[in-house]
Structures are given as structure tokens and as C-alpha cells.
Amino acid sequence: MTDHAIRVSSHRGEPRVSPIYDPKVRSIFFQILTAVVVVLVTWSISHNVSVNLARANIASGYSFLAGRSGFDIGFAMISYSSDSTYGDALLVGLINTILIAVTGIITATIIGFIIGIGRLSKNWLIAKLCTVYVEVFRNIPPLLVIFFWYSGVLSSLPQVRDSLKLPFSMFLNNRGLAFPKPVWGDGASLISVAFLVGIIATLAIAMWAKQRQMRTGKQFHTIWVGIGLILGLPLLTFLALGAPLSFDYPIAGRFNLSGGSVIAPEFVALYLALSFYTAAFIAEIIRAGIRGVPKGQSEASFALGLQPSTTTRLVVIPQAMRIIIPPLTSQYLNLTKNSSLGVAIGFPELVSTGGTTMNQTGQAVEVISIWLVVYLTISIATSLFMNWFNAKMALVER
């Protein structure tokens, strides 16, 4: 077939390929073609958008962020009222997204570790129970788990009048969990300073202990000293200041509880659902990671005379971590993205407050661009961390 393409040049005696069959020419041609198509499509889309927006009398731009929002948010970590701006509303949403992500990640990791290790247990019953957990939660949509907690479990809680009384003056009803609000007295900020000092001191001791171990081989009980410092220092400060803490107790009224803090059921439902759902995936990752460490590794360490606990801590876990961390991070990212499902039960996270803003102002393009930027920033930050981590943890070979 290619015979027709090659014309033997009489001058140089070597075959000259027609430019149509030259890979370089083809490559440039296809790229230019693609670029032209993309530019044309983008141009026509932006033209259509501007025409459509003009017809709908919507001004583009981000100036709407400074306007008064006029809607209330039930669950805000910073001070917010309906007089605040749209920008504040989006900020409240972002903070709630981060809050749900952080708390969910911590809980999901704990549950996931327990279930993952449970699936590897030699105890048949425990292994089977953990398998059932994983197979159930992996195969149903996260949205359904959220609804299950929200309209299945939490809304069947009693009304405010018949609140369940829990210990420590806590109340549980279908408006959430009310608990005593700690009110810190004078000098309470010193406690957090003491906490920070404890962490820094522990880090310093850990570095010193590692250097000493490298030099002399002597080990140091960093863990216990560290726990003592991190917990003990704030506790001592607290006692030295004369325990500057009082509680604002929730009091059951006729129709409502007054005082105290309330965790909204929306938060609890989203938090529990995302934790339980993601834990199933984390459990599988943990299991795969631990099983990915060859048996010879632990056998070799037994042969060196290491105790089983030391073997697990110093030989198996560090190598399993290399397998576990990358998919674990992507599960953390998934949990963060799934927190956007809060919009379905009215939890005011970024997509929810953004959606309300979009409905009120009609600034669809702007709000969606804010969403994209926020989520992409989180994703890119995570993948940068991952690249750094992979480079640090990669096997160093000759």
C-alpha cells in the first residue's frame, strides 16, 4: 500500500516520503486542527453565554459577593446573620465543608483501620462480620447512607418536649444533640499555649531521641514522655490558673432548649454517613496494604529475634504504609468531595450555600467557578502532597 506513497527521487537515490505520510507533518496538522476546533467551540460558547446573560439581564462579575445575602444559615462556625454578605455565606459553607471533611476523615480512618484489621483476623466470626460491613457499605450509594441516618434514624428521635436526657446534662432530640457549652474564664488562652509548647517539646525530644539512638543504640520512651507533655502541660496550666472553666448548661423549656451548644442533626447525619461509607473503602485499602507486605519480611524479622509487636511496628507497618497512603489520600479526597452531598439534607456546606446564592442572584457562572476553584485547589494540594510523599517513600534502590 505504501508503494504509492514513496516516490523514488532520481536526484539523491533515497526514497522521499510524501508529506501526507510524514508523522511530524501529520502530528502538527492534527494539533492545529484540534486547536482551531477548541478555539471555535470556546468562542461560540462564550458568545452564547454573554448573549444569554444579557437577555436575562444578569450582570457578570463577582461584585454580587459583597451584597446582602438575606438568608439564614443554621450551622455557622463564624458569626453570620442574614445581614451578612454572599461572600460570608460562601465562607461559612467552605468552613463547614472543611469541618465535615476533617471530622469525617478522622472517624473514617479509625473505623476503617479497625474493620480492615478485623478482616485479616484469624478469628472467623470477626473476619466475616467485617466482610459483611465492607460488602454492604461499598455497594450502596453514599447519598442513601446519608438519608438513612437523616430520615431513617435521626428524625425518629423524640420531639423537643420529650428529649432524651443523657448524662452530663446532654439532651438528644430531633433537633440535634444539645450539650453543655464550655465557657472559658480569664487566662484560658494560656492553656492552648501550653498545649502547643507540649507538642513542640515532644517533637524536639523525638528528634533528640532518634539522634541518640543512631549514635549509641539506646532507646528512649518518647511516646510516654510525649503523651505526658502534650496532656500534662495544659492540665497543669489549667490547675495552676485555678480551673477557669464553667459550663452553660442546656435547659429544657416547653418548646425549645435554651443555652448550651447544639449539634445539628444534619451535621450528625452527614458526618456519620460519610464516616461509615468511607470506612468501608479505607478498610479494603488497609487490608490490601498489610497483605501486600511479603511474609518473608516478618519471618526475617522474627529470625533476627524481634518481638511480634516490634515486628509489626518497625517492619510491617512502614512497608504497608507505602502501599496504603496513596489510595488512602484519594479516599480522603473522595470524602471531602462527597461532603457536597450535604446539600441533599440541607447541611450548609459550600455547594449548599452556593446553590442558595445562585438561586437568589442568578450568578450561575460565577458561583460554579468558585466551586470549581475551591475543589480543584483542595485536589491539587492533595496531589502535590502525594507526589512529595511518594518521592520520599519510594524504594531507594541501587
Partner 1 sequence: MVDANASYVRREMLPAQPAPIATGNIAGWIRVNLLATPKDVVLTILALAVLAAVVPSALNWLFIQASWLGSDRSVCATVVQGGIQPDGWKGACWAFVKDRFVQFLFGRYPIDERWRPILVTIMFIVLLTPLLIPKMPRKGLNAVLLFIVFPIVAFFLLHGNAFGLDRVETPLWGGLMVTLILSFVGIAVSFPLGTLLALGRRSKMPVIKTLCVTFIEVIRGVPLITVLFMANVMLPLFLPTGWTIDNFLRALVAVALFASAYMAEVIRGGLQAIPKGQSEGADSLGLGYWQKMRLIILPQAIKLVIPGIVNTFIGLFKDTSLVSIIGMFDLLNIIRLNFTDTAWITPVTPITGLIFAGFIYWLFCFSMSRYSAFMERHLDTAHKR
| Residues found near partner 1 in the complex (CB under 8 A) | 27, 30-32, 34-35, 38, 45, 48-49, 51-53, 55, 121-126, 129, 135-136, 138-144, 147-148, 151-153, 155-156, 337-338, 340-341, 343-344, 351, 355, 358, 364-365, 368, 371-372, 375-376, 378-380
**Alpha carbon distance 238, 192 (integer Å):** 10
Nearer to partner 1, 96 or 340 (CB): 340
Question: Least CB distance from residue 296 to partner 1, whole Å?
Answer: 19
Question: Least CB distance from residue 139 to partner 1, whole Å?
Answer: 4
Q: Do the Cβ atoms of 285 and 117 come closer than 8 Å? A: no
Q: Do the Cβ atoms of 120 and 101 come closer than 8 Å? A: no
The type of residue at 236 is: L
Three-class SS state of 236: helix
Nearer to partner 1, 81 or 383 (CB): 383
CB neighbourhood size of 169 (10 A): 16
Nearer to partner 1, 279 or 351 (CB): 351
Question: Least CB distance from residue 22 to partner 1, whole Å?
Answer: 14
Query: First and final CA of the chain: distance in angstroms?
Result: 49
Question: Least CB distance from residue 334 to partner 1, whole Å?
Answer: 9
* Per-residue DSSP letter, 158: P
Question: Least CB distance from residue 34 to partner 1, whole Å?
Answer: 5
CA angle 382-383-388, nearest 5°?
100
Q: 6-8 and 15-17 as β-strands: parallel, antiparallel, unpaired?
A: antiparallel
Question: Least CB distance from residue 115 to partner 1, whole Å?
Answer: 13
Nearer to partner 1, 135 or 248 (CB): 135
Question: Least CB distance from residue 66 to partner 1, whole Å?
Answer: 22
In sequence order, what are the residues at sequence separation of 6 or more whose Cβ sits closer than 8 angstroms to the Cβ of residue 160? Answer: 173, 174, 175, 252, 255, 256, 257
Nearer to partner 1, 126 or 393 (CB): 126
The type of residue at 283 is: A
**Alpha carbon distance 398, 391 (integer Å):** 16
Q: What is the per-residue DSSP string for 302-359?
A: HHTT--HHHHIIIIIHHHHHHHHHHHHHHHHHHHHHHGGGGGGGT--SHHHHHHHHHH
Nearer to partner 1, 63 or 123 (CB): 123
Residue bearing cell 463564624? 78
Nearer to partner 1, 315 or 351 (CB): 351
Cell reading at 352: 449548599
Question: Least CB distance from residue 379 to partner 1, whole Å?
Answer: 4
CB neighbourhood size of 322 (10 A): 16
Question: Least CB distance from residue 352 to partner 1, whole Å?
Answer: 10
Question: Least CB distance from residue 339 to partner 1, whole Å?
Answer: 8
Q: How many CA atoms lie within 13 A of 51 on its CB side?
A: 6
Nearer to partner 1, 31 or 211 (CB): 31
Nearer to partner 1, 32 or 110 (CB): 32
User: What is the CA 118 to chain-centroid distance, rounded?
Assistant: 24
The type of residue at 87 is: G
Nearer to partner 1, 119 or 260 (CB): 119
Question: Least CB distance from residue 382 to partner 1, whole Å?
Answer: 9
CA angle 265-109-140, nearest 5°?
65
Nearer to partner 1, 36 or 203 (CB): 36
Q: Where are the alpha helices (DSSP H) in 139-221?
A: 142-147, 189-216
